[in-house]
Amino acid sequence: MPEKSIQPFAAIRSVPALSKGEEVAGFEVVQGFLERFGYLRGHTFAGSQLDDPTADALARYQEFNGLRATGTFDEPTREQMTTHRCGMSDLDDGVAFATRCAWPNPSLTFAFEDG
């Protein structure tokens, strides 16, 4: 059986490049991505528009991912957003973190149970 290829955040691929102040239907998926991963706070931005809060969030995302922090939605940003990644937020209340919580004990005990 052929292996199925999963395209992460496929809807973002169809969103055209945007500069600050521009608006396009479908840009909400980019804003949703930024909100999901901690770059954009909910209810602070205009849907479908690359407004000031969204541009700031894009710049933070670009900087965090080693891209040129332009605050615009460009091809390198689109490519980065559509790569495989973990589901955890990159930022917690706008602050980057290395780990979400520390494991207090370096030893792990486990057991297997049948059934």
Q: What is the pLDDT of residues 16-48, one digit of tens each?
A: 999 999 999 999 999 999 999 999 998 999 989
Over residues 76-101, mean pLDDT: 80
Burial 87-115 (b: 16+ CB within 10 A, else e): eeebbeeeeeeeeeeeeeeeeeeeeeeee
Which pTM does this prediction carry?
0.78
Can you tell me the distance from the alpha carbon of 92 to that of 51, in angstroms, rounded to the nearest whole number? 22
Q: Judge whether 59 and 67 are in contact, CB under 8 Å.
A: no
Binned at pLDDT 50, 70 and 90, residue 92 comes out as confident
Q: Judge whether 45 and 24 are in contact, CB under 8 Å.
A: no
